[in-house]
Amino acid sequence: MTGFRSLIILLLLMGVVFPSGCKNKEEVLFYESSRKEKAEPPIKEVPKDILASQQAFISLAQQVTPCVVNISTVSRKKLVQPFFQFSPFFDDFFGEQQPRYRRDTSLGSGFIINSTGHILTNDHVVRDAESIKVKLSNENVYDGKVVGRDPKTDIAVIKIESREPLPVAVLGDSDKLRVGQWAAAIGNPFGLDRTFTVGVISATGRSNMGIETYEDFIQTDASINPGNSGGPLLNIHGEVIGINTAIVAAGQGIGFAIPINMAKNVVDQLISKGKVSRGWLGVSIQPVTDEIAASFGLKKAAGALVNEVVPGSPAARAGIRQGDIIVGIDGREVRDVQQLQRLVAETPVGKQVEVRVIREKKEVRLSMKLGSAESAEARQARPEEAVPAVWLGMTVGELPREMRMRGLGGVAVTTVDPEGTAAEAGIRPGDVIVSVNRITVGNLAEYSRVITEAGKKGSALLLIKRGTASIYFVLRTR
Q: Where are the beta strands (DSSP E) in 89-192?
A: 101-112, 118-122, 129-135, 141-143, 145-150, 155-159, 182-187
CB atoms within 10 A of CB 376: 8
- Which among 148, 344, 346, 174 has a CA at the least distance from the CA of 256? 174
Helix (H, G, I), strand (E, B) or coil at 446: helix
Helix (H, G, I), strand (E, B) or coil at 390: strand
- Spot the catalytic one: 123, 150, 154, 324: 154
Helix (H, G, I), strand (E, B) or coil at 238: coil
**CB of 138 within 8 A of CB of 112?**
no
- Spot the catalytic one: 124, 202, 207, 324: 124
Helix (H, G, I), strand (E, B) or coil at 86: helix
The helix, strand and coil proportions of the chain, stated in percent and rounded to the nearest 5, come to 25, 35, 40
- Spot the catalytic one: 202, 229, 435, 448: 229
**CB of 417 within 8 A of CB of 441?**
no
237 is catalytic: no
Which residues on adjacent β-strands are paired with residue 367? Answer: 354
Q: Where are the beta strands (DSSP E) in 136-174?
A: 141-143, 145-150, 155-159
- Residues serving a catalytic function are 124, 154, 229
